[in-house]
Structure 1
Amino acid sequence: MEELNLTGFQPATFHLTGFPGLEPAHRWIAIPFCALYATSIAGNCAVLAVVRRDPRLHEPMYLFLCMLSFNDLGVSLSTLPTVLALFCFGLSDVAFDACLAQMFFIHSFSFMESGILLAMSLDRFVAICSPLRYASTLTNARIGRIGLAIALKSTAMLCPFPFLIKRLPICKSNVLSHAYCLHPDMMRLACADITVNNIYGFFAILFTYGLDSMFIIFSYIMILKTVLSIASRDQRRKALNTCIAHICAVLSFYVPIIAVSVLHRFGKNVPSVAHILMSNVYLFIPPLLNPIIYSVKTKEIRKGFSRMFS
């Protein structure tokens, strides 16, 4: 157990861990992480550049895609400083307040991603169920207000988290389970009642992921109902093809979250490395996959890349 250097009730620093027992191999582990960061950042920046440069892509679907790419950049950049510092340079200590700030941004961007995926499902719902009202319903001003509402809601939901951690006396240890700071990981180190943290954390997850996923499922039920009422088989296929990229993005985001929750609740006897791997998948895979999914599945984005690089 790491020796605590207490300032009041909190340690001056938290000690981050990558993969316990594999410390000598951290330099090698840094290679795939660096490749992952480089691919995620380059892919999302490329999507933003393509949409910005091509006036034909200044439509609601692609504006929401830009929001998703911008948010994925935020997720990657939130974890990057501590992950690369630990694996590349062996710097495992992070100041208490810096850890709180990182926790806030990681969870905020994660909540925002859920809201953006919901907004993208609304875009597909309007495009397929009310195509004649699509342009008048999703105007640029309204899209901007939706993006602002998502950011404000996520930030407001996360604001209490740093204060809930700050009030706790951290005296069990200062060793965190990951190479970055997360709320559940920090609160388990407290030697006080964490019921409030648990209740508010559960409420925030239910209010964000729970409601968003319910509305996404409902929108796709309505989309499927509309598509099945279309007489032409080719038109049905075209309508569904416009949703494939979004469905893949939703699955790449929510499946790891469900897996992490199941492991946390029922995987008490599962090796700790499984928990660490699933947490890494939950944070690192969606920002990596989203630009790839939309580049492969969306013809207009592929054409935009061809025009940009040619």
Structure 2
Amino acid sequence: MQETPFCLRVGHFLPYSMSDSNITDFTNPSTFILLGIPGLEKAHIWISIPFCTMYAIAILANFIILLIVKLEPSLHEPMYYFLCMLAITDLVLSTSILPKMLSIFWFNSREINFSACLMQLYFIHCFSGMESGIFVAMGFDRYVAICHPLRHSTILTIPMVAKMGLAVVLRSGMLVLPYPFLVKQWPYCRTNIIPEPFCVHISIVKLACADTRISSYYGLFVLLCVMGLDGIFIAVSYNHILRAIFSLPTKDARLKTFGTCVSHLCVILIFYIPGLFSSLTYRFGQNVPLHFHVLIGNMNLLVPPMLNPIIYGVRTKQIRDRLLRFITHKG
């Protein structure tokens, strides 16, 4: 039973096969070999430039969001607390991927310890799941703010925000926890070569020479629990939100209210669309080169941490004004 090839950050699936010449007798490799982007090895140094730029922007922009929310008392509200959770998640997610990727591109450092690979796998899937959960929490915040504005402060209290954040962390952490244990129990007698620049669940499972249906079924279960349920919750929230917006009496009121949701909608689309595109490419693009699949998978993980804080910084007047005041004051 092969795991359903669907890539939405939490489940990263790539079509590839290993040559029989790579088969060895080892069962528990001490290291894995990360190929980076197969077929584009000569261009690794050039590919590293945009990746390094994206990482630098992601680190700087997310730290700025955290600093502004901390320094501005007027931003101590549920929406901005959720935004801080998103910024922290993006920082951890990008940092769990980029340093090793850049070491492959710059220094040809392809080896990764087996335990380090499992740790990277856990962080990538865990914090991707957290990001999806945070989008649900932010969607609920928008729903309450638009559909029940008079009750917003009583429903989304600070303790409630903390409980929602804790629920997001525990859900993702517990669901992903079996991944490294399942991966660790399989024998690896084929190869230790991973044709990607980082470790993800399905890439390692494909290397095992055993019946890995447990991992396949569990990977599909996690995918449905995280992406499936979160997508349904977000869709239900925006169904109520749009109905409330269209019931407003004037066009200006509708546009102004809808404008409060634009940032959230943009980051959701950035989160889901690359994964959907990668899945469709896998299913219907059999002739698409492997390096294209890998690049799309990389964009799926690396672009959102860079764009999320920029979108909220540009679209949110309070953050934009506080940043301009800070820059002007320093100037």
- Equivalent position to 2:317, from 282, 287, 299: 299
Kindly tell me: are residues 265 and 192 of structure 1, through their superposed partners in 2, closer, same or farther at Cα, counting changes over 3 Å?
A: farther
Distance 1:22 1:271 in 2: 11
Q: How much has 1:4 moved relative to structure 2?
A: 5.4
2:183 aligned partner: 165
How far does the alpha carbon of each residue in 1:49-85 deviate from its partner, in whole angstroms, 9 at most, with x for none? Answer: 1111100111111111111111100111110231111
Match of 2:154 among 124, 127, 136: 136
Deviates more, 1:109-118 or 1:9-18: 9-18
1:5, 1:13 within 8 Å by CA — same for their partners in 2? no
In the comparison of the two structures, how many residue pairs are matched? 308
Q: Give the distance between the partners of 2:178 and 2:198, measured in 1 at CA.
A: 19
Calculate the TM-score normalised by the size of structure 2: 0.90
Other-structure match for 1:50: 68
2:241 pairs with 1:216? no
Residue 308 of structure 1: how far off its partner (Å): 2.0
> Structure 1 residue 256 and structure 2 residue 249: aligned?
no
CA distance in 2, matches of 1:269, 1:197: 27
Aligned mates of 1:2, 1:72 — CA distance in 2:
36
User: For the residues of structure 2 that align with 1:164 and 1:150, how far apart are their CA atoms?
Assistant: 23
Residue 38 of structure 2 contacts residue 196 of structure 2 at CA under 8 Å; is this kept in 1?
no
CA RMSD of aligned residues (A): 1.4
Decide whether the 8 Å contact of 1:5 with 1:12 is kept in 2.
Answer: no
Structure 1 vs Structure 2: percent identity of aligned residues?
A: 46
- TM-superposition CA deviations, 1:276-305 (whole Å, max 9, x none): 011011100110110111111111111121
Instruction: Map 1:4-153 onto structure 2 (within 5 A).
Output: 6=26, 9-153=27-171
Q: Distance in 2 between matches of 1:287 and 1:62?
A: 16
* Letter matched to residue 182 of structure 1: V
- Once the two structures are TM-superposed, the CA of residue 105 in structure 1 deviates from its matched residue by 0.2
Distance in 1 (CA, whole Å) between partners of 2:324 and 2:166 is 32
Structure 1 residue 3: deviation in Å?
7.5
TM-score normalized by the length of structure 1: 0.96
Q: Which runs of 5+ in 1 are unaligned?
A: none
Contact conserved, 2:25 with 2:189, CA < 8 A, in 1?
no
Structure 1 CA distance for aligned equivalents of residues 181 and 201 of structure 2: 11
Point out which structure has higher relative CO (alpha carbons under 8 A, 6+ apart).
2
1:207-246 deviation per Cα after TM superposition (whole angstroms, max 9, x unaligned): 1000001110110000001111111221111110000000
Q: Deviation above 6 Å: which 4+ runs of structure 1?
A: none
- 2:217 aligns with one of 169, 185, 199: 199
For the residues of structure 2 that align with 1:205 and 1:46, how far apart are their CA atoms?
32
Deviation at 1:22, TM superposition (A): 2.5
